[in-house]
Amino acid sequence: MKPLKKASGPPFHEENQHQEFKQELLKVEDALATLKERYNQVQADRASQRKLQQRLKQLHHSELPNVKAELKQIQQQLELLELNLESQLFSWGSFKEPFWQAVRFGGLGVIIGWLLKSVAG
């Protein structure tokens, strides 16, 4: 029996592709971990927000003298939680990739336009 021939192809190219795939896979895993952390933080912030809103409703019905200070503190905490929730939904990380894609392809479009104008005109 004849021995099987190995697939012809440069092993360096295959190794390079393997390394690139591993790097991309690590990036995806990191992005997923970041997304999970952000999701957990949003869930915790929303739970805190609900608790504070319930406490705020309870205090509105109370007429104790120290209620005003606690109401003000709760209101500040609610505002901070709202800011955290908004900033977590719209962060630079979520806009970074589309922004650079727009810059790259927009710049490429300008260059192609200049070339076409110089050739045609």
The tens place of each residue's pLDDT in the chain, 121 residues long, gives 555 555 555 567 778 888 888 888 888 888 888 888 888 888 888 888 888 888 888 877 776 767 777 878 888 888 888 877 776 555 556 666 766 777 777 777 788 888 888 888 6
pTM: 0.49
Q: How far apart are CA 3 and CA 74, in angstroms?
A: 78
H helix intervals, 1-121: 11-60, 67-89, 92-120
What pLDDT was estimated at residue 18? 83
